[in-house]
Amino acid sequence: MPLLRSFAGLALAAAAAAALALHPRAAAAQAAATFLAAIGDVRVFDAAGRTRAGERGGALTAGERVAVGAGGLAQLRFSDGGLVSLRANSELRIDAYAYRGERDSSASSVLQLVRGGLRAITGAIARLNRSGYTVVTTNATIGVRGTDFEAFHIPPPAPGGEAVPGEPGTYLKVNQGIAFLQTQGGILDVQPQQVGFAPQVAAAPTLLPQMPQFLRGLPSPPPPPQPPPQQQQRSEQPTPTPGALTAPTQDPRTLQSPTTSPTLTSPRLDPTPTTTSPTLSPGLTSPATTSPILSPSSTSPTRTAPTTSPTMTAPVTSPGMTAPTSPGMTAPR
């Protein structure tokens, strides 16, 4: 029975290995970071020393190292949402990385800047476990209490090697939040728009009076990925609030001002006293000399007040007209 169980265990292990081989995405799900961009000479070195070219979408795991050559650029997105831009002639190694989700209070990330410069925007790990996120060099440790910082490390020059851009040591520039620079000689908090420097010797870090020239023009953090065109178009349309009344965008009439005033205006009255309203004189014929402003063509299509004064007055008899006489009666002489 124990022998059968061992054979069964080997069979299950072989099946799991075959499944990972057939489904590389399952193995890549444990990756620490992926390449958003790899421009120029970008190479990846694994823990066994094997080398492969860095390419967009490629995965990185703990223990691997990224080297960017002259004129190159690499941009990485970590699984916790953190972003790193690695400039030319730089090298970064993922010493340790552990992240299991938004509730992982023990998450950690340790990046080693071997040489060159980077710009980083921290993700969930620095928020969940601030002390668990560090960037180390050969002479200093960088910790974060913020989100956006730049680091540059200049190792001691090799005999007969290329000239270095500045004094060997570790430089820290903060763009947002607060970060600290720690050595064996002490610890220094670096505020936004300040630059801290830790020399290669065992000394306390200090603030520089001005920014070194080689720190200018470090790569900007990579932009967030854009949604597909259809999804982006749907996200740009405003979401109606339940119960709120909004004007439809398809009916242009709702966007135009009305051609007539919504209020009632007083009509223009003819000063001639002989003009009377035909509706207020029953039994009398309308006089021949009426004002043209009472014609239907001159009135507004909207509702208007009656053409006479709001108060009712006795009808005025038009000149030249005589009162009617009763039948069979003669006027006195």
For residue 152, what are the CA distances in angstroms to 47, 114, 222? Answer: 24, 10, 18
* Contacts of residue 31, Cβ cutoff 8 Å, sequence gap at least 6: 59, 60, 61, 79
Tens digit of each residue's pLDDT (9 = 90 or more) over 128-179: 999 999 999 999 999 997 789 999 999 998 888 788 889 999 999 999 999 9
At residue 82, the pLDDT reads: 96
Total-model pTM: 0.59
- pLDDT number for residue 69: 96
Q: What is the pLDDT of residue 216?
A: 80
Whole-number pLDDT of residue 158: 84
Amino acid at 251: D
Residue 34 has pLDDT above 60, yes or no: yes
Q: pLDDT at position 143, please?
A: 95
Contact of 174 with 148, CB cutoff 8 Å: yes
Q: Looking at the predicted structure, is the pLDDT value of residue 41 above 80?
A: yes
When pLDDT is averaged across residues 221-249 and rounded to a whole number, the result is: 49
pLDDT for res 215: 87
Q: Is the pLDDT of residue 43 over 80?
A: yes
- Report the distance separating Cα 32 and Cα 30, nearest Å: 7
Average pLDDT over residues 276-290: 43
Residue 226: pLDDT over 50: yes
Q: Cα–Cα distance between 127 and 134 in angstroms, integer?
A: 12
Q: What does the mean pLDDT of the chain come to?
A: 73
At residue 308, does pLDDT exceed 60? no
CB 169 within 8 Å of CB 154: yes
